[in-house]
Copies of this chain bind each other. A is one copy, B any other.
Amino acid sequence: MSDSSRPISSDPVDDSAAGDPTAENSAEGGLPAADPIRERIAQAVRDVREQAPLAQSFTNFVTINLVANAQLAAGGVAAMSFLPDDVIGSMSISRADYVNVGTLQPFYREALPRIARAYHDAAHPWVLDPVAAGIGETRTAILAAFRETPPTIVRGNASEIIALADMWGLNAADTDGNATDAAPATSRHRPAGVESVDDVDAAAPAAEALARFLAANAPESRRRAAVAVSGPVDLVTDGERTFRLPGGSALMTKITGAGCSLGGVMATYLAVADPLIAALAASALYNRAGETAQRRAHGPGSFQVELLDALWNLTADEVAASPILPV
């Protein structure tokens, strides 16, 4: 990093803190080492590595390779499909699915709502990545349609979470989970692009409202859901409990697909764990892996290589010890 004006070199990760995250946990009121949530996170990491569950993806063309490689590096199995007959035909062997609305093609407008309906009818868990929510008529139509058959987890940046909650007519005062009492306020969405223009904390009310809506409108056999907001500090909530997860690396924003592949890995964990634990485990894994990769990388090219290696090499205990701060 020869250019001192770059954000990454002016804000280095402190190796000592990264080496002992439990210190940061304690100092900042993080979850105690013995908290059951940490054990459940470690268990999810181990279960994925032992069971190698298949999590199918319908995702964008930019980062589809990294999503698959990240799921494999985490210990899962990947399969990518776009045709409804393909996706629905594989639902029986996939334990959780990932849907990302980047790089839309014309036929997605019919295909994605149809697939979401099939997930809903089968009570099949899935993660939605509402990439660029608020941009384009087709994307807005697809995301609006998902309101009737909502995902189990939504993962996005702050702007996307706010845009989706806004589009679905959700706010802190109106989140009783009644899916029909408010028309989707599509006219209120904001053109956020693919990069967030909002702080993670600013998205907390929207994230919590969204999580409560997802849980309330889930198939009856499962009433749990989660929302993960990615940023310099991640925010994860199930609508009742909210956590802040510091960590990661500024280089994650200098490669394409850190967020998408995190969403894919969240689906991999959702294959073996409940939504809150899956969202926490994947976020914690990425934060630790990002720190490890940054210490070894010389730029964004080597960072991506090191990130995949770190996803593979981190132990379940290292992941579970990542800073998790109840809000």
List the interface of chain A (C-beta within 8 A of B): 1-3, 5-6, 46, 49-50, 54, 60-66, 68-69, 72-73, 75, 77-83, 85-86, 89-90, 92-93, 102-107, 132, 135-139, 191, 193-195, 253-257, 297-302, 304-316
Contacts and interface: CB of A to CB of B under 8 A. Distances in A.
A127 to B, nearest CB: 18
B93 A193 contact: yes
Contact of A310 (B80, B85, B104, B299): B299
B107 A82 contact: no
A193 B79 contact: yes
A85 B138 contact: yes
A136 B87 CA distance: 8
Contact of A254 (B73, B255, B298, B299): B73
B298 A302 contact: no
Across the A-B interface, the 7 shortest Cβ-Cβ residue pairs: A301-B308, A299-B309, A86-B136, A299-B312, A68-B256, A301-B305, A301-B309
Contacts of A73: 254, 299-301
A9 to B, nearest CB: 10
Identical copies of this chain, number = 3
A42 to B, nearest CB: 12
B315 A69 contact: no
Contact of A64 (B49, B61, B302): B61
A313 to B, nearest CB: 5
Contacts of A254: 72-73, 312
11 contacts: A1-B312, A2-B313, A54-B193, A79-B132, A80-B103, A83-B104, A86-B139, A90-B135, A298-B309, A301-B305, A304-B305
A86 B104 contact: yes
Contact of A313 (B64, B299, B308): B299
Nearest to A102: B80
A255 B72 contact: yes
Contacts of A5: 46, 49-50
A300 B72 contact: yes
B83 A136 contact: yes
A314 B299 CA distance: 11
A181 to B, nearest CB: 29
Contacts of A68: 62-63, 256
A195 B72 CA distance: 12
